[in-house]
Amino acid sequence: MTKKRTIAGMPVFPIGLGCMGLSHGYGPAVPPDQAESLLLGALDAGVTLFDTAALYGFGHNEELVGRVLAPHRSRFFLASKCGIFRDNGQRRIDGRPETLRRTCEDSLRRLRTDVIDLYYLHRWDKSVPIEDSVGALADMVQAGKVRHIGLSEVSANTLRRAHAIHPIAAVQSEYSLWVRNVEIAVLQACRDLDIALVAFSPLGRAFLADGLPPLDALDEHDLRRRMPRFQPEALRHNLALLDPLRRLARERDCTPGQLALAWLLHQGEHVIPIPGTTRLSHLRENLAAADLSLDDASCVELAACFHRARVAGDRYGPATQAEIDTEQFSAS
């Protein structure tokens, strides 16, 4: 039996489901019947951590999760996020306490629940002290609207400041074979403080699953079109990195995506990947990675294949990079 992992002492399946792609980020929302089939299929397959946010589809994703999963509320751990939302048609980061309180009420309504198990500050609004934003979230815990608090894309220093105000249950950051910034400090800080590290985009936005469509086939609104490492010249370089991943996967009779997820799970008992997908076949493939064991030597080899010096292109452009607080590797 697959050993579960924990968030704030609550057991969850080692691999969760990132719901964003059903509504946001990679093109139009998937058809309602397909989305419903995927969410219910995940629940039936044993997934217990479902991750959404007010940002995803500007409320559409929370409404979807609420409509489909609310009848099964006791069977899963619900995570959502505040602090980024749509204001007059524009995406805006706002961590003021009064804004967070309002968006929490909106999320509860869309999710059709009385309480959110894990409520993240999606991005730290650097114009607002982290202590003020976390204080507002702590008030939501006191009021019974939220059970646990999380942070997304923060540095170890910001995490420790926040944790001094109220216990932080989870930090969500991008973490995969080819995005390793959390290894600078946050991964260890989470281990020290008994905080879960929830890894989003653990398959490199389909790249590590060897399933990236041709760039000219991507929807015009697909966020990868604007990401430096997916630009034509960088991508041509990066595609060569998949050769050893494919070879190692063949040797272990698994897929490249399963190997990438297994590597992440090996980085610590507090690491919980949340790959997203729109297909049940991909979902089942991802979940099977929880039963794939790797030895230390294999993990070292995989890490070396995707050392940051070998990856071309930043993960974000300058404007998006300025919004996050995660530590950056120094130029070398």
Euclidean distance between CA atoms 109 and 103, whole angstroms: 10
Euclidean distance between CA atoms 209 and 282, whole angstroms: 10
Euclidean distance between CA atoms 129 and 164, whole angstroms: 13
Find the catalytic residue in 26, 56, 175, 316. Answer: 56
Euclidean distance between CA atoms 258 and 172, whole angstroms: 20
φ/ψ bin of 105: left (φ > 0), alpha (ψ from -120 to 50), beta (otherwise): alpha
**175 catalytically annotated:** no
Residue 93's CB is within 10 A of a number of other CB atoms, namely 18
Token pair listed for 110: 């869309």
E-strand ranges in the chain read 5-7, 10-12, 17-18, 49-51, 77-82, 84-87, 90-93, 116-121, 146-152, 168-174, 196-200, 271-273
**Using an 8 Å Cβ cutoff, are 106 and 116 in contact?**
no
Q: Of 223, 226, 222, which Cα lies nearest the Cα of 234?
A: 226
Euclidean distance between CA atoms 303 and 305, whole angstroms: 5
Collapse the DSSP code of 329 into the 3-class scheme (helix H, G, I; strand E, B; otherwise coil) and give the result.
coil
The residues carrying an active-site annotation are 56
